[in-house]
Structure 1
Amino acid sequence: MTHEEYFAALAEPRQGELRALHALIREAAPDLAPTMVSGLPGYGHYRYRYASGREGEAATVSLASRKNGISLYVSCVAGDRYLPELFADRLPGASVGRSCVRFKRLSDVDIGVLRELLRAAAETPPAGVV
């Protein structure tokens, strides 16, 4: 599946929202090449290995259409914290987990803050890089 196929399978308004988020990612982090990992549109690709020995492949940034909204996954770590955690207080319209930013609509979040988060992701190594 390609990014285009993923987006085309969505109903509006979600399709337009993910296309807009895709454009924002491409603008803010152009060096993170589009990829599909685990059936989700992703940007940047890396191999990881955790201390437990578990290995795999992941996207630096990925997005997903979920039943209750949109999820933006950012796997980059600064110090001992995932980047989304560092931006949580600036994204009050979103639910922010360790490496995920969840929101119902793109208009619920500050696009400028998302742009900063994505630029930081392009410059920060993902967790567990091999």
Structure 2
Amino acid sequence: MNIKAEIKAYIDSQVDQKRADMEALHNRIRHIFPKCRLWFLDGKDDNGKTVTNPNIGYGLQTMKYANGATKEFYQIGISANTIGISVYIIGIQDKTYLSKTYGDKLGKASITGYCIKFKTLEDIHMDILELAIRDGVEQTK
């Protein structure tokens, strides 16, 4: 199965509201970054054990580790979780940046160093989420 088909199958597997929100968010990110690389991580390790929720990824950055190793990875990710949806903005160095910059403006969401979690798209201000996504991509170019 190709990546686009895996993404479609993952979105289609969600319950009604979450499926509609995931599809809307996926389409919005694709509109913002139409030529970005797409990723799909099924959440399983090399042994086939589930270790995380599946993720749809967008963009490309080279992650640099303290030991000098590097790894290509996405810049933005989305994932369904038990309560709603998580948006990952990977690679921002200041782990307080998202909450300080967007926390009061975003709506009903919890924000950690690189994750914005909310129940439905109706709970957040999509224009502010888009600003955070664009900002994260800009910081990880």
Give yes or no for the alignment of 1:92 onto 2:96. no
Counterpart position of 1:24? 28
The residue number in structure 2 matching 1:75 is 90
Q: Displacement, 1:11?
A: 1.6
Task: Name the structure, 1 or 2, with higher relative contact order (CA <8 Å, separation 6+).
Answer: 1
Question: Matches of 1:98 and 1:34 in 2, distance apart?
Answer: 23
Q: Which one is further off, 51-60 or 22-31?
A: 51-60
| 1:58 positional shift | 2.6
**Preserved CA contact (<8 Å) 1:41 1:64:** yes
The equivalent residue for 1:122 is 137
Counterpart check, 1:50 vs 2:65? yes
Contact persistence 1:29–1:118 (CA under 8 A): no
The Cα shift of 1:82 comes to 6.2
C-alpha contact 2:84 2:117 (8 A) present in aligned 1: yes
Give 3-state SS (helix, strand or coil) of 1:123's partner: helix
TM-score w.r.t. the length of structure 1 is 0.81
What value does the CA root-mean-square deviation take over the aligned residues?
2.2
Kept in 1: contact 2:92–2:140 (CA 8 A): yes
Normalising by structure 2, we get a TM-score of: 0.76
1:107 equivalent in alignment to 2:111: no
Task: State the alpha-carbon separation in 2 of the partners of residues 69 and 43 from structure 1.
Answer: 19
Secondary structure of the residue that 2:60 maps to in structure 1? strand
SS where residue 13 of structure 1 aligns?
helix
Code of the residue aligned with 1:73 in structure 2: it is Y
Structure 1: segments with no counterpart, 5+ residues: none
Higher strand share: 1
Q: What percent of counterpart residues are identical?
A: 25
Alignment length (residue pairs): 125
Mapped partners of 1:8, 1:18: distance in 2: 9
Distance 1:54 1:108 in 2: 39
2:109–2:118: 8 Å Cα contact kept in structure 1?
yes
Q: Contact 1:31–1:122 at 8 Å: present in 2 too?
A: no
What is the deviation of 1:41?
A: 0.7
